[in-house]
Homo-oligomer: A and B are copies of this chain.
Amino acid sequence: MSETLAPPDALSTALPAAAAEIEAALDTLLPRPEGPEARLFEAMRYASIGGGKRMRGFLVLEGARQFSVSRAAALRVAAAIEILHAYSLVHDDLPAMDDDDLRRGKPTAHRAFDEATAILAGDALQARAFEVLAEEDTHSDPAVRAELVRCLARAAGARGMCGGQMLDMLAEEAEAPLDEPAIGRLQLLKTGRLIEFSAEAGAILGKAPSAQRHALAAYGRDLGAAFQIADDLLDATATAEQTGKRTGKDAEAGKATLVSLLGLERARLQAERLSEQAINHLDSFGERADLLRALAAYTVQRKS
């Protein structure tokens, strides 16, 4: 496989370049602070712009590249998914949820503003994500727009992110720690579904044949699972300075993760296996998918 991998520096150039393009799209798509409700717009921008690796948006852009989708359309969808992701972080950080003070190296939204503003900013970001997808500029074919909305809503809702976060909250109260299948399901819902959709979105935009759409979704599913284990490994081993958020909190909260269940070494091996599996799903794609392959490899090696 190594001969088809992009050189590591291709990804290290492409990822920040894509992030910069996505930042610019977010700046355009989010309302400018003005008028009496400016505080809300400020909080929406604060939570969404200027931070994050934009991995989900990058997946949209690289998925869309496989089918020669216009960059403008792909950027709108990438931004919509990052807007939805930003909303979920704002709400997850709330005092009633994970009660976090630090996110992407700066105070969380409810610390920088206040709780009511953070709740409302999250709510408004969720609505905006769907609005962006439904707007004509996203794609001339309304069937594509409706399908993007349907899939994002599914990934975000009770059988996706919200369900996963509920399981996470319940696990904290539970007497026994979760077992491996329960953790896998929690993570699939909480982070996996949105990463899966991010990888799949380019195929929807490009009206790809269903085999290719499914291959990208399967890539995203395995990448998401690998990413989550890598995230838990970082939480267990890295510092807040490296990650821009509080670390060691899983252990502190007595939270079961695959790392606590399997140990560092076996967890690392499982993440690597998932990353290889993700890459295998791209077999029918040519060199144009090299950055997606490189991302899967990088995901399990990253230090932040």
Chain A contributes a number of interface residues (CB within 8 A of B) equal to 54
A120–B150 touching, CB < 8 Å: no
Task: Give Cα A154 to B278, complex, Å.
Answer: 37
Number of this chain's copies in the complex: 2
**A123 contacts B by Cβ under 8 Å:** yes
- Secondary structure type dominating chain A contacts: helix
Closest Cβ of chain B to A5, distance in Å, is 37
B166–A120 touching, CB < 8 Å: yes
A127–B44 touching, CB < 8 Å: no
Task: Give Cα A134 to B166, complex, Å.
Answer: 25
**A142 contacts B by Cβ under 8 Å:** yes
**A264 contacts B by Cβ under 8 Å:** no
A158/B31 contact (C-beta < 8 A), A96-B116, A127-B126, A169-B117 known: yes
A120/B162 contact (C-beta < 8 A), A135-B150, A149-B130, A149-B149 known: yes
Task: Give Cα A186 to B112, complex, Å.
Answer: 24
Give me the interface of A with B, judged by CB distance under 8 Å. Answer: 31, 36-37, 39-41, 44, 91, 94, 96-97, 114-117, 119-124, 126-128, 130-131, 133-135, 141-143, 145-147, 149-150, 153-154, 156-160, 162-163, 165-167, 169-170, 182, 185, 189
Other A-B contacts than A41-B158, A123-B126, A141-B142, 17 sampled, CB-CB below 8 A, are A36-B170, A36-B185, A37-B158, A39-B166, A44-B158, A91-B119, A96-B116, A97-B116, A123-B156, A124-B157, A124-B158, A126-B127, A130-B153, A133-B149, A142-B142, A146-B146, A149-B149
